[in-house]
Chains A and B, each alone.
Chain A
Amino acid sequence: MPTLADFQAQFASALLQPVAVANRDAALAVYRNTVMKGLVDALAANFPSVQRLVGEAWFAGAASCFARACPPNNPVLAWYGAGFAEFLDQFPPARELPYLAEVARLDRCWNEAYFAADAPALTAVELQALDQPQLFAATLTLHPATHLGVFKHSALSIWLANHPSMANDASPDALEISDAAEAALFARPHAVVATHRLNASEYSFLAKLQTAASLGEAAMTMLERDPQFPLAQALARFIKVGAFTSICSCNTPAEQHQTSDNNS
Protein backbone atom coordinates (compact mmCIF):
# COMPACT_ATOMS: atom_id res chain seq x y z
CA MET A 1 0.00 0.00 0.00
CA PRO A 2 1.68 3.26 -1.10
CA THR A 3 1.30 6.20 1.27
CA LEU A 4 -0.77 9.14 0.03
CA ALA A 5 2.44 11.20 -0.27
CA ASP A 6 4.29 8.55 -2.33
CA PHE A 7 1.32 7.97 -4.61
CA GLN A 8 0.89 11.68 -5.28
CA ALA A 9 4.58 12.36 -5.91
CA GLN A 10 4.70 9.54 -8.44
CA PHE A 11 1.42 10.48 -10.11
CA ALA A 12 2.33 14.17 -10.30
CA SER A 13 5.62 13.44 -12.07
CA ALA A 14 3.79 11.23 -14.60
CA LEU A 15 1.31 14.03 -15.33
CA LEU A 16 3.87 16.37 -16.83
CA GLN A 17 5.78 13.77 -18.84
CA PRO A 18 5.93 14.14 -22.62
CA VAL A 19 3.01 12.54 -24.51
CA ALA A 20 4.88 9.49 -25.81
CA VAL A 21 5.65 8.24 -22.29
CA ALA A 22 2.31 9.05 -20.69
CA ASN A 23 0.13 7.76 -23.55
CA ARG A 24 1.12 4.16 -22.91
CA ASP A 25 -1.62 4.07 -20.34
CA ALA A 26 -4.99 5.27 -21.68
CA ALA A 27 -6.33 6.13 -18.22
CA LEU A 28 -3.27 8.12 -17.22
CA ALA A 29 -3.47 9.88 -20.58
CA VAL A 30 -6.95 11.18 -19.68
CA TYR A 31 -5.60 12.93 -16.59
CA ARG A 32 -2.50 14.07 -18.43
CA ASN A 33 -4.49 15.55 -21.32
CA THR A 34 -6.91 17.28 -18.96
CA VAL A 35 -4.06 18.85 -17.00
CA MET A 36 -2.21 19.97 -20.15
CA LYS A 37 -5.39 21.31 -21.78
CA GLY A 38 -6.17 23.22 -18.58
CA LEU A 39 -2.72 24.80 -18.45
CA VAL A 40 -2.54 25.63 -22.18
CA ASP A 41 -6.07 27.10 -22.09
CA ALA A 42 -5.14 29.20 -19.06
CA LEU A 43 -2.05 30.56 -20.83
CA ALA A 44 -4.08 31.21 -24.00
CA ALA A 45 -6.60 33.18 -21.93
CA ASN A 46 -3.82 35.18 -20.28
CA PHE A 47 -1.75 35.75 -23.46
CA PRO A 48 -4.37 36.18 -26.23
CA SER A 49 -2.23 38.48 -28.39
CA VAL A 50 0.68 36.05 -28.38
CA GLN A 51 -1.68 33.26 -29.44
CA ARG A 52 -3.20 35.41 -32.19
CA LEU A 53 0.25 36.20 -33.57
CA VAL A 54 1.62 32.65 -33.67
CA GLY A 55 -1.56 30.61 -34.18
CA GLU A 56 -3.17 28.00 -31.94
CA ALA A 57 -0.87 25.08 -32.77
CA TRP A 58 2.42 26.97 -32.31
CA PHE A 59 1.06 28.53 -29.13
CA ALA A 60 -0.03 25.16 -27.70
CA GLY A 61 3.47 23.76 -28.37
CA ALA A 62 5.21 26.66 -26.64
CA ALA A 63 2.67 26.78 -23.79
CA SER A 64 2.99 23.07 -23.01
CA CYS A 65 6.81 23.36 -22.93
CA PHE A 66 6.44 26.24 -20.48
CA ALA A 67 3.77 24.43 -18.42
CA ARG A 68 5.95 21.33 -18.04
CA ALA A 69 8.82 23.43 -16.75
CA CYS A 70 6.72 25.90 -14.73
CA PRO A 71 3.34 24.54 -13.59
CA PRO A 72 1.26 27.11 -11.67
CA ASN A 73 1.92 27.29 -7.95
CA ASN A 74 -1.71 27.89 -6.98
CA PRO A 75 -5.20 27.28 -8.39
CA VAL A 76 -5.96 30.89 -9.35
CA LEU A 77 -5.12 30.67 -13.05
CA ALA A 78 -5.82 34.36 -13.74
CA TRP A 79 -2.26 35.00 -12.54
CA TYR A 80 -0.61 32.05 -14.29
CA GLY A 81 2.28 32.81 -16.61
CA ALA A 82 4.47 35.18 -14.60
CA GLY A 83 7.61 33.86 -16.34
CA PHE A 84 6.07 33.25 -19.78
CA ALA A 85 7.61 36.34 -21.41
CA GLU A 86 11.10 35.39 -20.18
CA PHE A 87 10.49 31.83 -21.37
CA LEU A 88 9.59 33.08 -24.87
CA ASP A 89 12.70 35.26 -24.86
CA GLN A 90 14.82 32.11 -24.51
CA PHE A 91 12.60 29.76 -26.58
CA PRO A 92 14.63 28.82 -29.69
CA PRO A 93 11.62 28.57 -32.08
CA ALA A 94 10.74 32.20 -31.14
CA ARG A 95 14.14 33.56 -32.20
CA GLU A 96 12.66 34.88 -35.47
CA LEU A 97 10.01 36.83 -33.54
CA PRO A 98 11.93 39.22 -31.25
CA TYR A 99 8.74 41.13 -30.39
CA LEU A 100 6.90 38.04 -29.08
CA ALA A 101 8.22 38.15 -25.50
CA GLU A 102 7.43 41.87 -25.38
CA VAL A 103 3.87 41.20 -26.58
CA ALA A 104 3.60 38.64 -23.75
CA ARG A 105 4.68 41.35 -21.27
CA LEU A 106 1.99 43.65 -22.69
CA ASP A 107 -0.69 40.94 -22.33
CA ARG A 108 0.45 40.49 -18.73
CA CYS A 109 0.22 44.24 -18.01
CA TRP A 110 -3.30 44.31 -19.44
CA ASN A 111 -4.33 41.33 -17.24
CA GLU A 112 -2.88 42.94 -14.15
CA ALA A 113 -4.82 46.11 -14.89
CA TYR A 114 -7.99 44.06 -15.55
CA PHE A 115 -7.87 42.08 -12.29
CA ALA A 116 -6.49 44.83 -10.03
CA ALA A 117 -8.40 46.09 -7.01
CA ASP A 118 -11.15 48.67 -7.54
CA ALA A 119 -10.45 52.17 -6.25
CA PRO A 120 -11.72 55.67 -6.94
CA ALA A 121 -9.81 57.72 -9.51
CA LEU A 122 -8.31 61.06 -8.50
CA THR A 123 -10.09 64.01 -10.11
CA ALA A 124 -8.72 67.39 -11.15
CA VAL A 125 -11.04 69.01 -8.58
CA GLU A 126 -9.04 67.41 -5.76
CA LEU A 127 -5.85 68.98 -7.14
CA GLN A 128 -7.45 72.39 -7.52
CA ALA A 129 -8.17 72.40 -3.79
CA LEU A 130 -4.43 72.61 -3.06
CA ASP A 131 -2.31 75.78 -3.16
CA GLN A 132 1.06 75.99 -4.91
CA PRO A 133 3.34 74.93 -1.97
CA GLN A 134 0.97 72.10 -1.05
CA LEU A 135 0.98 70.86 -4.63
CA PHE A 136 4.77 71.01 -4.76
CA ALA A 137 5.09 68.84 -1.65
CA ALA A 138 2.26 66.47 -2.57
CA THR A 139 2.75 62.83 -3.58
CA LEU A 140 0.39 61.09 -5.96
CA THR A 141 -0.59 57.45 -5.51
CA LEU A 142 -1.13 55.41 -8.67
CA HIS A 143 -4.48 53.67 -9.03
CA PRO A 144 -4.05 49.92 -8.27
CA ALA A 145 -4.90 49.14 -11.92
CA THR A 146 -2.29 51.51 -13.36
CA HIS A 147 0.69 49.83 -15.02
CA LEU A 148 3.37 51.34 -17.18
CA GLY A 149 6.20 49.92 -19.19
CA VAL A 150 8.59 50.38 -22.09
CA PHE A 151 8.45 47.82 -24.89
CA LYS A 152 11.06 47.11 -27.55
CA HIS A 153 10.72 45.94 -31.17
CA SER A 154 7.54 47.94 -31.94
CA ALA A 155 5.76 45.50 -29.64
CA LEU A 156 3.20 48.06 -28.47
CA SER A 157 2.06 48.75 -32.05
CA ILE A 158 1.91 45.01 -32.73
CA TRP A 159 0.04 44.37 -29.48
CA LEU A 160 -2.47 47.15 -30.16
CA ALA A 161 -3.27 45.46 -33.48
CA ASN A 162 -3.74 42.03 -31.89
CA HIS A 163 -5.21 42.24 -28.41
CA PRO A 164 -8.89 41.13 -28.36
CA SER A 165 -9.93 44.29 -26.46
CA MET A 166 -8.86 46.42 -29.44
CA ALA A 167 -11.21 44.78 -32.01
CA ASN A 168 -8.56 45.45 -34.62
CA ASP A 169 -8.13 43.23 -37.66
CA ALA A 170 -4.71 44.47 -38.77
CA SER A 171 -2.34 41.66 -39.60
CA PRO A 172 1.09 41.84 -37.96
CA ASP A 173 2.59 41.47 -41.44
CA ALA A 174 1.18 44.86 -42.33
CA LEU A 175 3.09 46.55 -39.53
CA GLU A 176 6.56 47.94 -39.89
CA ILE A 177 8.72 46.35 -37.24
CA SER A 178 11.65 48.39 -35.99
CA ASP A 179 13.82 48.40 -32.90
CA ALA A 180 11.91 51.41 -31.63
CA ALA A 181 11.00 51.41 -27.95
CA GLU A 182 7.45 52.46 -27.12
CA ALA A 183 6.01 53.34 -23.72
CA ALA A 184 2.51 52.44 -22.61
CA LEU A 185 0.25 53.32 -19.71
CA PHE A 186 -2.53 50.89 -18.78
CA ALA A 187 -5.33 52.39 -16.70
CA ARG A 188 -8.66 51.07 -15.48
CA PRO A 189 -10.26 53.73 -13.32
CA HIS A 190 -13.68 52.07 -13.75
CA ALA A 191 -14.75 48.96 -15.69
CA VAL A 192 -12.66 49.15 -18.86
CA VAL A 193 -8.89 48.81 -19.28
CA ALA A 194 -7.56 51.54 -21.58
CA THR A 195 -4.07 51.55 -23.10
CA HIS A 196 -2.38 54.90 -23.74
CA ARG A 197 0.83 55.60 -25.63
CA LEU A 198 3.29 57.78 -23.73
CA ASN A 199 6.21 59.70 -25.16
CA ALA A 200 9.59 59.23 -23.48
CA SER A 201 9.22 62.33 -21.25
CA GLU A 202 5.69 61.48 -20.14
CA TYR A 203 6.90 58.00 -19.27
CA SER A 204 9.83 59.35 -17.20
CA PHE A 205 7.54 61.79 -15.39
CA LEU A 206 4.98 59.13 -14.44
CA ALA A 207 7.72 56.63 -13.51
CA LYS A 208 9.21 59.28 -11.22
CA LEU A 209 5.82 59.93 -9.61
CA GLN A 210 5.37 56.17 -9.19
CA THR A 211 8.49 56.01 -7.00
CA ALA A 212 6.66 58.30 -4.53
CA ALA A 213 8.69 61.37 -5.41
CA SER A 214 6.77 64.53 -4.59
CA LEU A 215 5.16 66.34 -7.48
CA GLY A 216 7.71 69.16 -7.03
CA GLU A 217 10.65 66.78 -7.06
CA ALA A 218 9.40 64.98 -10.17
CA ALA A 219 8.71 68.31 -11.88
CA MET A 220 12.24 69.60 -11.14
CA THR A 221 13.81 66.43 -12.55
CA MET A 222 11.77 66.75 -15.73
CA LEU A 223 12.44 70.46 -16.24
CA GLU A 224 16.19 70.03 -15.67
CA ARG A 225 16.16 67.46 -18.47
CA ASP A 226 13.85 69.39 -20.78
CA PRO A 227 12.78 72.93 -19.88
CA GLN A 228 10.13 72.76 -22.62
CA PHE A 229 8.40 69.71 -21.10
CA PRO A 230 4.65 70.52 -20.90
CA LEU A 231 4.35 69.47 -17.29
CA ALA A 232 0.82 70.68 -16.54
CA GLN A 233 -0.47 69.15 -19.75
CA ALA A 234 1.09 65.74 -18.96
CA LEU A 235 -0.29 65.78 -15.43
CA ALA A 236 -3.74 66.72 -16.71
CA ARG A 237 -3.61 63.80 -19.15
CA PHE A 238 -2.64 61.29 -16.42
CA ILE A 239 -5.51 62.51 -14.26
CA LYS A 240 -7.96 62.45 -17.15
CA VAL A 241 -7.21 58.77 -17.93
CA GLY A 242 -7.54 57.83 -14.24
CA ALA A 243 -3.92 56.93 -13.54
CA PHE A 244 -3.99 58.08 -9.89
CA THR A 245 -6.21 57.20 -6.98
CA SER A 246 -5.23 59.83 -4.44
CA ILE A 247 -3.04 62.79 -3.62
CA CYS A 248 -1.36 63.26 -0.27
CA SER A 249 -0.38 66.80 0.56
CA CYS A 250 1.00 65.91 3.99
CA ASN A 251 4.69 65.14 4.61
CA THR A 252 4.22 61.45 5.31
CA PRO A 253 4.95 59.16 2.35
CA ALA A 254 1.87 57.94 0.53
CA GLU A 255 0.95 54.32 0.90
CA GLN A 256 1.99 52.27 -2.06
CA HIS A 257 -0.56 49.96 -3.57
CA GLN A 258 0.54 46.40 -4.11
CA THR A 259 -0.95 44.04 -6.65
CA SER A 260 -2.28 41.32 -4.38
CA ASP A 261 -2.03 37.60 -5.16
CA ASN A 262 0.38 38.29 -7.95
CA ASN A 263 2.45 35.28 -7.13
CA SER A 264 2.28 32.61 -9.76
Chain B
Amino acid sequence: MYATAGLGFKPEHFAAALPCSVAGMWYEIHAENYMVAGGPRMRMLDALSAQHPISVHGVGLSLAGDAEPDAHHLSRLKAVIERTQAFVVSEHLAWCTAHDAYYPDLLPFPRSNEALQRIARNIEITQNTLKRQLLIENPSAYLQLDTHEWSEAEFLSELVRRTGCGLLLDVNNVYVSAHNLGGDATEYLNALPAAAIGEIHLAGHTVDQRDDTALLIDTHGAPICAEVWSLYQQLITRIGVRPTLIERDDNIPAFDELLAERDHAADLLLDITKQTTFQDQRHAHVS
Protein backbone atom coordinates (compact mmCIF):
# COMPACT_ATOMS: atom_id res chain seq x y z
CA MET B 1 0.00 0.00 0.00
CA TYR B 2 1.18 3.47 -0.87
CA ALA B 3 -0.43 6.39 1.02
CA THR B 4 0.94 9.92 0.78
CA ALA B 5 -1.61 12.70 1.20
CA GLY B 6 -5.29 11.94 1.82
CA LEU B 7 -8.61 13.65 2.39
CA GLY B 8 -11.21 13.49 5.13
CA PHE B 9 -14.09 11.68 3.43
CA LYS B 10 -17.35 13.60 2.98
CA PRO B 11 -20.40 11.64 1.76
CA GLU B 12 -21.36 14.56 -0.51
CA HIS B 13 -18.06 14.01 -2.36
CA PHE B 14 -18.61 10.28 -2.85
CA ALA B 15 -19.18 10.41 -6.63
CA ALA B 16 -15.87 12.28 -7.17
CA ALA B 17 -13.91 10.61 -4.34
CA LEU B 18 -14.55 7.02 -5.37
CA PRO B 19 -12.91 7.08 -8.84
CA CYS B 20 -10.19 9.59 -7.86
CA SER B 21 -7.00 7.91 -9.02
CA VAL B 22 -4.20 10.30 -8.04
CA ALA B 23 -1.12 8.44 -6.75
CA GLY B 24 -1.00 7.79 -3.02
CA MET B 25 -4.60 8.92 -2.36
CA TRP B 26 -6.35 7.70 0.80
CA TYR B 27 -9.37 8.70 2.86
CA GLU B 28 -10.01 9.11 6.55
CA ILE B 29 -13.43 8.42 8.04
CA HIS B 30 -14.88 9.27 11.43
CA ALA B 31 -15.59 5.88 12.94
CA GLU B 32 -18.78 6.93 14.76
CA ASN B 33 -20.53 7.87 11.50
CA TYR B 34 -20.35 4.22 10.43
CA MET B 35 -21.53 2.54 13.63
CA VAL B 36 -24.95 1.80 12.15
CA ALA B 37 -26.36 -1.60 11.28
CA GLY B 38 -26.54 -1.27 7.48
CA GLY B 39 -28.07 0.67 4.63
CA PRO B 40 -26.74 3.10 2.02
CA ARG B 41 -24.11 4.69 4.26
CA MET B 42 -22.43 1.35 4.91
CA ARG B 43 -22.63 0.43 1.21
CA MET B 44 -20.86 3.69 0.40
CA LEU B 45 -18.13 2.87 2.92
CA ASP B 46 -17.71 -0.62 1.47
CA ALA B 47 -17.35 0.80 -2.04
CA LEU B 48 -14.84 3.42 -0.89
CA SER B 49 -12.71 0.97 1.08
CA ALA B 50 -12.67 -1.47 -1.84
CA GLN B 51 -10.96 1.25 -3.94
CA HIS B 52 -8.82 3.24 -1.48
CA PRO B 53 -6.78 2.84 1.71
CA ILE B 54 -8.87 3.95 4.72
CA SER B 55 -7.77 5.51 7.98
CA VAL B 56 -10.25 5.13 10.86
CA HIS B 57 -10.34 8.17 13.11
CA GLY B 58 -12.42 7.84 16.29
CA VAL B 59 -13.99 10.76 18.10
CA GLY B 60 -15.95 8.92 20.79
CA LEU B 61 -13.65 6.78 22.95
CA SER B 62 -13.10 9.51 25.56
CA LEU B 63 -9.61 8.26 26.40
CA ALA B 64 -9.06 11.15 28.82
CA GLY B 65 -12.36 10.47 30.58
CA ASP B 66 -12.34 9.26 34.14
CA ALA B 67 -13.55 5.79 33.11
CA GLU B 68 -12.40 2.86 31.03
CA PRO B 69 -13.36 2.98 27.35
CA ASP B 70 -16.91 1.69 26.85
CA ALA B 71 -16.66 -2.00 25.88
CA HIS B 72 -19.60 -1.81 23.49
CA HIS B 73 -18.11 1.23 21.78
CA LEU B 74 -14.76 -0.54 21.46
CA SER B 75 -16.39 -3.51 19.79
CA ARG B 76 -18.22 -1.22 17.35
CA LEU B 77 -14.89 0.51 16.61
CA LYS B 78 -13.24 -2.85 15.99
CA ALA B 79 -16.01 -3.76 13.54
CA VAL B 80 -15.47 -0.54 11.53
CA ILE B 81 -11.69 -1.15 11.46
CA GLU B 82 -12.16 -4.71 10.25
CA ARG B 83 -14.78 -3.77 7.68
CA THR B 84 -12.53 -1.10 6.11
CA GLN B 85 -9.21 -2.97 6.60
CA ALA B 86 -7.94 0.33 8.02
CA PHE B 87 -4.22 1.00 7.53
CA VAL B 88 -4.11 3.32 10.51
CA VAL B 89 -6.38 3.93 13.54
CA SER B 90 -6.39 7.06 15.65
CA GLU B 91 -8.15 8.74 18.59
CA HIS B 92 -7.69 11.90 20.67
CA LEU B 93 -5.98 13.11 23.81
CA ALA B 94 -9.33 14.36 25.10
CA TRP B 95 -12.59 13.30 26.70
CA CYS B 96 -16.15 13.54 25.39
CA THR B 97 -18.33 11.36 27.59
CA ALA B 98 -19.09 11.70 31.29
CA HIS B 99 -21.86 10.15 33.37
CA ASP B 100 -23.68 8.62 30.40
CA ALA B 101 -23.75 11.86 28.42
CA TYR B 102 -21.83 12.43 25.19
CA TYR B 103 -20.57 15.94 24.36
CA PRO B 104 -19.56 16.18 20.67
CA ASP B 105 -16.24 17.94 21.23
CA LEU B 106 -12.68 17.14 22.30
CA LEU B 107 -12.56 18.45 25.85
CA PRO B 108 -9.58 19.53 27.97
CA PHE B 109 -8.38 18.17 31.32
CA PRO B 110 -5.60 18.86 33.81
CA ARG B 111 -2.50 16.91 32.67
CA SER B 112 -1.85 15.43 36.09
CA ASN B 113 -0.06 12.22 37.08
CA GLU B 114 -3.49 10.77 37.81
CA ALA B 115 -4.65 11.64 34.29
CA LEU B 116 -1.45 10.15 32.81
CA GLN B 117 -2.03 6.82 34.52
CA ARG B 118 -5.70 6.75 33.59
CA ILE B 119 -5.08 7.59 29.92
CA ALA B 120 -2.13 5.19 29.60
CA ARG B 121 -4.40 2.44 30.97
CA ASN B 122 -7.21 3.43 28.57
CA ILE B 123 -4.83 3.35 25.59
CA GLU B 124 -3.57 -0.08 26.68
CA ILE B 125 -7.14 -1.41 26.96
CA THR B 126 -7.91 -0.05 23.51
CA GLN B 127 -4.74 -1.41 21.88
CA ASN B 128 -5.26 -4.81 23.51
CA THR B 129 -8.86 -4.99 22.33
CA LEU B 130 -8.11 -3.79 18.80
CA LYS B 131 -4.88 -5.82 18.71
CA ARG B 132 -3.06 -2.96 17.02
CA GLN B 133 -1.32 0.32 17.67
CA LEU B 134 -3.41 3.43 18.21
CA LEU B 135 -2.24 6.89 17.17
CA ILE B 136 -3.13 9.65 19.64
CA GLU B 137 -3.91 13.14 18.32
CA ASN B 138 -2.95 16.36 20.09
CA PRO B 139 -6.07 18.52 20.67
CA SER B 140 -6.60 22.21 19.99
CA ALA B 141 -6.64 24.19 23.25
CA TYR B 142 -8.56 27.28 24.29
CA LEU B 143 -8.68 27.14 28.06
CA GLN B 144 -5.73 28.10 30.24
CA LEU B 145 -5.62 25.57 33.10
CA ASP B 146 -3.17 26.27 35.91
CA THR B 147 -3.30 22.73 37.27
CA HIS B 148 -1.19 20.94 34.65
CA GLU B 149 1.73 18.91 35.99
CA TRP B 150 2.96 18.04 32.48
CA SER B 151 3.38 20.03 29.29
CA GLU B 152 1.35 18.55 26.44
CA ALA B 153 4.40 17.44 24.45
CA GLU B 154 5.95 15.74 27.52
CA PHE B 155 2.60 14.13 28.35
CA LEU B 156 2.25 12.69 24.83
CA SER B 157 5.89 11.52 24.80
CA GLU B 158 5.34 9.74 28.12
CA LEU B 159 2.19 8.03 26.78
CA VAL B 160 4.24 6.80 23.80
CA ARG B 161 6.92 5.49 26.17
CA ARG B 162 4.45 3.75 28.49
CA THR B 163 1.99 2.26 25.98
CA GLY B 164 3.79 2.00 22.65
CA CYS B 165 1.06 4.10 21.05
CA GLY B 166 1.95 6.36 18.14
CA LEU B 167 1.09 10.00 17.54
CA LEU B 168 -1.22 11.68 15.09
CA LEU B 169 0.26 15.13 14.90
CA ASP B 170 -2.26 17.83 14.04
CA VAL B 171 -0.10 20.78 12.94
CA ASN B 172 -3.03 23.19 12.89
CA ASN B 173 -3.90 22.23 16.48
CA VAL B 174 -0.31 22.93 17.52
CA TYR B 175 -0.48 26.34 15.83
CA VAL B 176 -3.93 27.18 17.27
CA SER B 177 -2.99 26.08 20.82
CA ALA B 178 0.33 27.97 20.73
CA HIS B 179 -1.52 31.12 19.70
CA ASN B 180 -4.38 30.75 22.19
CA LEU B 181 -2.38 29.75 25.25
CA GLY B 182 0.97 31.33 24.39
CA GLY B 183 3.73 28.98 23.35
CA ASP B 184 6.13 28.17 20.56
CA ALA B 185 4.78 25.82 17.91
CA THR B 186 8.24 24.83 16.60
CA GLU B 187 9.48 24.05 20.10
CA TYR B 188 6.41 21.88 20.66
CA LEU B 189 7.00 19.97 17.41
CA ASN B 190 10.67 19.45 18.26
CA ALA B 191 9.78 18.06 21.69
CA LEU B 192 7.80 15.09 20.29
CA PRO B 193 9.46 11.73 19.52
CA ALA B 194 9.71 11.87 15.71
CA ALA B 195 9.69 8.09 15.24
CA ALA B 196 6.29 7.83 16.99
CA ILE B 197 4.56 10.20 14.56
CA GLY B 198 2.50 7.94 12.31
CA GLU B 199 0.21 10.46 10.66
CA ILE B 200 -0.16 14.22 10.24
CA HIS B 201 -3.34 16.31 10.11
CA LEU B 202 -3.59 19.67 8.37
CA ALA B 203 -6.68 21.90 8.55
CA GLY B 204 -7.81 25.50 8.53
CA HIS B 205 -9.07 27.49 11.49
CA THR B 206 -11.27 30.52 12.12
CA VAL B 207 -10.25 33.73 13.86
CA ASP B 208 -12.66 34.83 16.61
CA GLN B 209 -11.79 38.48 17.25
CA ARG B 210 -12.88 39.81 20.67
CA ASP B 211 -11.88 43.41 21.46
CA ASP B 212 -8.08 43.39 21.33
CA THR B 213 -7.60 39.62 21.60
CA ALA B 214 -8.30 36.91 19.10
CA LEU B 215 -8.96 33.24 19.71
CA LEU B 216 -8.12 30.84 16.89
CA ILE B 217 -10.81 28.20 16.63
CA ASP B 218 -10.14 24.82 15.06
CA THR B 219 -13.28 24.80 12.92
CA HIS B 220 -11.90 22.84 9.95
CA GLY B 221 -13.91 25.41 8.02
CA ALA B 222 -11.25 27.21 5.96
CA PRO B 223 -8.21 26.49 3.77
CA ILE B 224 -4.92 25.73 5.56
CA CYS B 225 -3.06 28.95 6.42
CA ALA B 226 0.48 29.78 5.23
CA GLU B 227 1.97 29.49 8.74
CA VAL B 228 0.65 25.93 9.14
CA TRP B 229 1.98 24.96 5.68
CA SER B 230 5.36 26.34 6.70
CA LEU B 231 5.37 24.41 10.02
CA TYR B 232 4.39 21.29 8.08
CA GLN B 233 7.21 21.71 5.60
CA GLN B 234 9.76 22.16 8.40
CA LEU B 235 8.34 19.11 10.16
CA ILE B 236 8.54 16.69 7.23
CA THR B 237 11.96 18.01 6.27
CA ARG B 238 13.10 16.97 9.74
CA ILE B 239 11.17 13.72 10.33
CA GLY B 240 10.53 12.49 6.78
CA VAL B 241 7.44 11.40 4.87
CA ARG B 242 4.24 10.60 6.82
CA PRO B 243 0.67 9.97 5.63
CA THR B 244 -0.85 13.45 5.73
CA LEU B 245 -4.54 14.28 5.90
CA ILE B 246 -6.32 17.43 4.76
CA GLU B 247 -9.40 17.89 6.97
CA ARG B 248 -12.44 20.01 6.14
CA ASP B 249 -15.63 19.58 8.14
CA ASP B 250 -17.37 22.94 7.72
CA ASN B 251 -17.89 25.24 4.69
CA ILE B 252 -17.16 22.18 2.61
CA PRO B 253 -16.07 23.22 -0.91
CA ALA B 254 -16.19 21.20 -4.13
CA PHE B 255 -14.05 18.05 -4.14
CA ASP B 256 -11.56 19.55 -6.61
CA GLU B 257 -10.79 22.43 -4.28
CA LEU B 258 -9.87 20.03 -1.48
CA LEU B 259 -7.99 17.88 -3.95
CA ALA B 260 -5.82 20.91 -4.84
CA GLU B 261 -4.88 21.37 -1.16
CA ARG B 262 -4.22 17.64 -0.92
CA ASP B 263 -2.03 17.74 -4.05
CA HIS B 264 0.03 20.54 -2.51
CA ALA B 265 0.76 18.35 0.53
CA ALA B 266 1.52 15.41 -1.80
CA ASP B 267 4.00 17.59 -3.76
CA LEU B 268 5.79 18.60 -0.55
CA LEU B 269 6.00 14.94 0.48
CA LEU B 270 7.34 14.02 -2.96
CA ASP B 271 10.11 16.62 -2.60
CA ILE B 272 11.11 15.01 0.70
CA THR B 273 11.09 11.55 -0.87
CA LYS B 274 13.33 12.79 -3.72
CA GLN B 275 15.76 14.42 -1.31
CA THR B 276 15.90 11.29 0.87
CA THR B 277 16.41 9.05 -2.15
CA PHE B 278 19.14 11.35 -3.46
CA GLN B 279 20.92 11.28 -0.09
CA ASP B 280 20.59 7.49 0.11
CA GLN B 281 22.05 7.12 -3.36
CA ARG B 282 24.93 9.43 -2.48
CA HIS B 283 25.66 7.44 0.69
CA ALA B 284 25.54 4.22 -1.30
CA HIS B 285 27.95 5.66 -3.87
CA VAL B 286 30.45 6.83 -1.23
CA SER B 287 30.48 3.54 0.67
A contact set with B: CB distance below 8 Å: 1-5, 7-9, 11-12, 15, 26-28, 30-31, 34-35, 38-39, 42, 71-78, 114-119, 144-145, 188, 191-192, 259-261
Closest Cβ of chain A: how far from B176's Cβ, in Å? 10
B111-119, B183-191, B196-204, B222-230 - the one binding chain A: B111-119
User: Which of chain A's residues has its CB closest to B38's CB?
Assistant: A118
The answer to whether A115 touches B112, judged by C-beta atoms less than 8 angstroms apart, is: no
Give chain A residues whose Cβ lies under 8 Å from the Cβ of B115: 4
Q: Which residues on the B side are within 8 Å of A114 (C-beta)?
A: 39-41
Q: Interface-forming stretch among B2-10, B96-104, B254-262?
A: B96-104
Task: Determine whether the beta carbon of B102 is less than 8 Å from that of A72.
Answer: yes
B39 touches A27 (CB 8 A): no
A147 to B43, CA, bound (A): 21
Which A residues are in CB contact (< 8 Å) with B149? 1
Q: A31-B143, A35-B105 are in contact. Are A260 and B110 (CB under 8 A)?
A: no
Minimal beta-carbon separation of B81 from chain A (angstroms): 16
> Taking the complex as formed, is B150 at the interface, i.e. its CB lies under 8 A from any CB of chain A?
no
- Can you name 19 A-B pairs with beta carbons within 8 Å? A1-B110, A1-B147, A1-B149, A7-B147, A9-B99, A12-B101, A27-B142, A39-B104, A71-B103, A74-B97, A74-B102, A75-B97, A76-B32, A115-B39, A118-B42, A145-B39, A191-B43, A192-B40, A261-B37
Chain B residues within CB distance 8 Å of chain A = 32-33, 35-43, 59-60, 64-66, 70, 73, 76, 95-105, 107-110, 112, 114-115, 118, 142-144, 147, 149, 180, 208, 210, 213, 215, 217
Point out the residues of chain A lying under 8 angstroms from B143, CB to CB. Answer: 27-28, 31
A26 B215 Cβ-Cβ under 8 A: yes
Residue of B with least CB distance to A264: B102
From B33, B35, B95, residue with most partner A Cβ within 10 Å: B35
Partner of A38, one of B38, B66, B105: B105
Within the assembled complex, what's the spacing in Å between the Cα atoms of A30 and B118? 26
Known contacts A1-B112, A30-B208; A74 and B70 CB within 8 A of each other: yes
* Residues of A close to B38: CB separation below 8 A: 115-119, 144-145
Complex Cα–Cα for A142 and B110 (A): 51
For residue B105, give the distance in angstroms from its CB to the closest CB of chain A.
Answer: 4
B210 lies within 8 A of A38 (CB): no
Minimum CB–CB distance for A222 against chain B, Å: 31
CB distance from B29 to the nearest CB of A (A): 14
B10 CB, min distance to chain A CBs, angstroms: 13
Q: Is the CB of B215 within 8 A of A261?
A: no
Contacts A4-B114, A34-B105 given; does A75 touch B43 at CB 8 Å: no
How close is B249's CB to chain A, nearest CB, in angstroms? 10
**Are B114 and A260 within 8 A (Cβ)?**
no
**Which residues in B have their C-beta under 8 angstroms from that of A4?**
64-66, 109-110, 112, 114-115, 118
Shortest CB–CB separation between residue A48 and chain B, in angstroms? 15
Q: Which of A12, A35, A75 has a CB less than 8 Å from the CB of B59?
A: A75
Cβ-defined contact, A259 with B66, below 8 A? no
Q: Roughly how many angstroms separate A126 CA and B37 CA in the complex, as a whole number?
A: 26
B40 touches A3 (CB 8 A): no
Instruction: Report whether B60 and A76 are in contact in the complex, using a CB–CB cutoff of 8 Å.
Output: yes
Q: Which residues of chain B are within 8 angstroms of A192 by Cβ–Cβ distance?
A: 40
With A11-B107, A191-B43, A261-B36 in contact, is A75–B98 under 8 Å at CB?
Answer: no
Selected from B39, B43, B95, B142, the residue in CB contact (under 8 A) with A8 is B95
Q: How far is A243 from B127 in the complex, measured between Cα atoms in Å?
A: 41
Given contacts A1-B147, A4-B64, A27-B180, could you give 12 more A-B pairs where the C-beta distance is less than 8 Å?
A: A2-B147, A4-B118, A15-B103, A27-B142, A30-B217, A34-B105, A35-B103, A74-B97, A75-B73, A76-B76, A117-B37, A118-B39
Docked Cα-Cα span, A38 to B101, in Å, equals: 14
Chain B residues whose CB sits within 8 angstroms of the CB of A35 once the complex forms? 103-105
Partner of A77, one of B64, B66, B104: B104
Task: Write the nearest CB–CB distance from B256 to chain A, whole angstroms.
Answer: 25
For A76, A118, A119, which residue has the most chain B Cβ atoms within 10 angstroms? A76
Give the contacting residue for A261; candidates B35, B59, B99, B142; CB below 8 A: B35
